[in-house]
């Protein structure tokens, strides 16, 4: 049914065979799951719903989660390939900045501000390949100014690189953002940059990410009189809640989620749908993170229940709408009885943010799983078309 081997399950099987022909039973024992689960994952009949399970598989196979997701390495997708061509230049710019080199600025202040604004609009619409093309020069020009200007440009670079699968470079960009913000002691950008740093850490470092978020929350609490800082502290609470969940510290996760809820209730959703740096912190964003946290806990019924109370369209960043529809679709698919509704959710996810949806390994696996389950029935035209747009080849 599915001709493409570019799925997490296929990569797990590849690395299992590379490890001396390790059996599914041995892998299951090392990862703490059942052999039947490994079999279903490798065949594409099931998807991996939890980040912690990905970490367990990666550890058992002695690879990284990025290896299992194929992030930053896969070819064939035009958007990914266009972006990949720009990554070496972004990396070079980050190295130059980290080494302390500064070129004279060639742009007037208004022109540079306009360029940063353009990059930010591309970020909010999830057009990461277009962002990647302008980031090398933007970073160099922002470095000539430094301070919040460089912090914002580096934050944008970190977000772009992370979503394209270059998490190690996203971490470099986040460090540049932190250094730039700290050099002028700008608490709002310090909080934003540290949020970018936490987000850029690999899934395997969930415990470190949670500690980093905790540390930032403590250090920046004195500046919470600034509403921009409060919004970013709320985001740090949400990040700490998710990473603590991945790390298995559910009590800590609940405390962070309660603090985020309290702050969001006080602030409300941003009037423009974005708020400071487009973070979108407020009750709606908290609801979206609650859906992701419930999915991480394997509570797919809870994900569906929460979805009825969340209206992602009030937020400006289309990545948040993608998150909503993707989490909901995966939860519906997990029931095994609501595949038509799941397909509808995935179509909505693609409509909200087509580029990151096409690049998402989790979205790809979910679509493959739907196709595998439909093989004994007529394959819905919408599913065949969606798979085709993602580069998934289905048997006729």
Residues 63-85: tens digit of each pLDDT: 998 888 876 555 556 667 778 88
State the pLDDT confidence band at 1, using cuts at 50, 70 and 90.
very low
pTM attached to this predicted model: 0.91
Check residues 331 and 394 and name the one with the higher pLDDT: 331
Instruction: Among 277, 297, 316, give the residue marking a domain's end.
Output: 316
Asked whether residue 20 falls in the same domain as residue 132, the answer is no
CA distance 102 to 100: 6
Q: What is the pLDDT of residue 337?
A: 84
Q: What is the pLDDT of residue 5?
A: 53
Asked whether residue 211 falls in the same domain as residue 312, the answer is yes
CA distance 346 to 327: 9
Domain count of the chain?
4
Instruction: Among 70, 100, 119, give the residue marking a domain's end.
Output: 70
Q: For all residues of the chain together, what is the average pLDDT?
A: 91
Neighbours of 171 (CB within 10 A): 20
State the pLDDT confidence band at 380, using cuts at 50, 70 and 90.
confident
Instruction: Among 316, 339, 363, give the residue marking a domain's end.
Output: 316
Asked whether residue 300 falls in the same domain as residue 338, the answer is no
How large is the average pLDDT for residues 246-261? 96
Torsions phi, psi for 394 (to 5 deg)? -105, 145
CA distance 367 to 287: 25
User: Is 219 a residue whose pLDDT tops 90?
Assistant: yes
Give SS3 for 169.
helix
Asked whether residue 19 falls in the same domain as residue 94, the answer is no
How large is the average pLDDT for residues 313-322? 95
Asked whether residue 181 falls in the same domain as residue 85, the answer is yes
Q: What is the pLDDT of residue 4?
A: 46
Asked whether residue 121 falls in the same domain as residue 226, the answer is no
User: Is 3 a residue whose pLDDT tops 50?
Assistant: no
pLDDT, tens digit, for every residue of 99-155? 998 888 888 788 999 999 999 999 999 999 999 999 999 999 999 999 999 999 999
Asked whether residue 1 falls in the same domain as residue 49, the answer is yes
Give every CB contact of residue 61 below 8 A, 6+ residues apart in sequence.
Answer: 12, 15, 16, 19, 22, 27, 68
**Residue carrying structure tokens 């595949």:** 339
Q: What is the pLDDT of residue 6?
A: 72
Asked whether residue 94 falls in the same domain as residue 191, the answer is yes
CB 2 within 8 A of CB 392: yes
Domain that residue 311 falls in: 202-316
Asked whether residue 270 falls in the same domain as residue 218, the answer is yes
CATH of residue 8's domain is 1.10.260.40
**CA distances to 151, 231, 235, 264, 344 from 187, in Å:** 11, 12, 14, 19, 42
CB 310 within 8 A of CB 324: yes
């Amino acid at each position: 049914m599915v001709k493409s081997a570019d799925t997490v399950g296929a990569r797990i099987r590849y690395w299992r065979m590379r490890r001396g022909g390790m059996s599914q039973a041995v892998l299951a024992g090392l990862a703490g799951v059942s052999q039947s689960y490994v079999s279903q994952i490798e065949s594409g009949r099931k998807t991996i719903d939890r980040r912690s399970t990905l970490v367990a598989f990666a550890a058992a196979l002695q690879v990284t989660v990025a290896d299992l997701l194929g992030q930053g390495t896969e070819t064939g997708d035009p958007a990914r390939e266009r972006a990949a061509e720009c990554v070496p230049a972004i990396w070079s710019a980050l190295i130059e900045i980290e080494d302390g080199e500064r070129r004279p600025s060639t742009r007037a202040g208004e022109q540079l501000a306009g360029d940063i604004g353009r990059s930010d609009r591309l970020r909010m619409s999830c057009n990461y390949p277009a962002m990647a093309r302008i980031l090398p020069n933007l970073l160099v020009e922002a470095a000539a100014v430094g301070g919040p200007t460089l912090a914002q440009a580096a934050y944008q670079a970190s977000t772009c690189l992370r979503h394209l699968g270059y998490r190690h470079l996203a971490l470099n960009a986040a460090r540049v953002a932190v250094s730039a913000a700290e050099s002028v002691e700008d608490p709002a950008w310090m909080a934003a940059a540290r949020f970018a740093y936490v987000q850029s850490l690999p899934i395997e470092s969930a415990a470190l990410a949670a500690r980093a978020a905790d540390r930032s929350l403590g250090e920046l609490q004195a500046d919470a009189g600034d509403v921009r800082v409060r919004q970013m502290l709320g985001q740090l609470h949400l990040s700490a809640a998710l990473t603590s969940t991945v790390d298995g510290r559910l009590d800590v996760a609940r405390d962070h989620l309660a603090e985020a809820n309290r702050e969001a209730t006080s602030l409300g959703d941003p009037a423009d749908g974005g708020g400071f740096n487009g973070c979108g912190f407020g009750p709606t964003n908290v609801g979206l993170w609650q859906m992701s946290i419930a999915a991480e806990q394997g509570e797919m019924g809870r994900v569906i229940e929460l979805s009825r109370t969340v209206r992602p369209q009030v937020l400006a960043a289309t990545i948040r709408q993608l998150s909503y529809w993707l989490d909901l679709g995966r939860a519906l698919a997990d029931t095994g009885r609501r595949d038509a509704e799941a397909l509808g959710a995935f179509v909505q996810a693609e409509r909200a943010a087509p580029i990151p949806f096409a690049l998402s390994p989790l979205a790809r696996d979910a679509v493959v799983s739907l196709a595998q389950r439909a093989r004994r029935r007529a394959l819905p035209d919408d599913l065949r078309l969606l798979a085709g747009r993602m580069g998934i080849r289905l048997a006729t």
